[in-house]
Amino acid sequence: MQRLTLALAPAAALAQTYYGCYTEIPARALTGSSLIDYEGMTIAVCETHCTGLGFDIWGVEYGGECYCGNALAQGSFPAFSTDCTMPCPGDTPPTTTTTTEPPTETPTDIPAPADPARAKTKRRTTLLNPRADTTICGGPNRLSLYGTSPDPPTVTPYPHPAVGPTPSYLGCWTELTDALGLRTLPGASGFSPTDMTVAGCGSYCLNNGFEVFGLEYGAECYCGAELNVNSTSVAEAECGMACSGAAEEVCGGSNRLSVWEWVAETEEK
């Protein structure tokens, strides 16, 4: 019988801390050095470049862009994990090491699978590092963010009033469907087919500087300063879709928004 061991990540990447998927800003979230390589970029390449220059934080974006720094600029903060989905172009297929044990069957009894990682034979497969993020290099305006510290970097959101610890629910509201493509909440927006929650959308919008947020169609998040005047309140039953990241929560419906608002803290305690 043969034993296979798959190594999914280069050794240089094993000691780093992955902080998550973060937003990029026009002036750059990490303002130190940069390295562009749309053919050979990997997380390890970016790490080596940045730490070699004395930087503690590095992020990979749009598949082939590496950025370094020691702090995040204002406006960069955690995004939805599914915003970072672009593969690192320099990652090679998993390497395989094989050890031979006394055979218990003839070689012809063991078919050669096209993909050893998915083989369903009597071979034994061990994943040394199955962490999925080792092959992801950010996304459009999104950084797969890493660093040398076990703690994530401090983030500075866009300005907004001081708010209480929990938002207030405003009910189920209609989404605009006119030909101009206007939205009930026309500010920032996000989408996550697997991770959307009320808290996640609320945090994302507040960090973007918006106090009102709405969840739609189970996986969509919209932000704004106020609801569009043409949106109307409807029966709560019209908002009945479960959130993609929390089945017990409601995230709107088809052209329907579950709307929440962050409430400003009062001066009186």
Profile the chain (269 residues) by mean pLDDT over runs of 10 residues. Answer: 36 70 97 97 96 97 98 96 95 50 37 34 28 75 97 94 94 87 93 96 97 98 96 97 98 98 72
Nearest CA among 262, 169, 142 for reference residue 210: 262
Is residue 244 in some structural domain?
yes
pLDDT at 91: 86
Same domain assignment for residues 149 and 43 = yes
Same domain, 140 and 203: no
Write down the pLDDT at residue 185: 97
Residue 206, CB-side half-sphere exposure with 13 Å CA sphere: 19
If you compute the radius of gyration of the chain from its CA atoms, what whole number of angstroms results? 23
In a domain, 161, yes or no: no
Q: pLDDT tens, 3-52?
A: 333 333 333 444 689 999 999 999 999 999 999 999 999 999 999 999 99
Which one-letter DSSP state was computed for residue 254? T
Instruction: Give residues with Cβ within 8 angstroms of 192, minimum separation 6.
Output: 80, 81, 82, 83, 200, 219, 221, 244, 245
Contact 51, 149 (CB under 8 A): no
Structure confidence at residue 15 (pLDDT) = 62
Confidence at residue 265, expressed as pLDDT on a 0 to 100 scale: 79
Helix (H) or strand (E) holding 203: helix 198-207
Q: What 8-state DSSP symbol labels residue 32?
A: S
Task: Report pLDDT for 99.
Answer: 40
* Number of structural domains found in the chain: 2
Q: What is the pLDDT of residue 116?
A: 34
Q: Are residues 231 and 182 in the same domain?
A: yes
**Residues in Cβ contact with 51 at an 8 Å cutoff, skipping those fewer than 6 apart:** 58, 148
Cβ atoms of 56 and 149 closer than 8 Å: yes
| Whole-angstrom distance, CA of residue 203 vs CA of residue 188 | 12
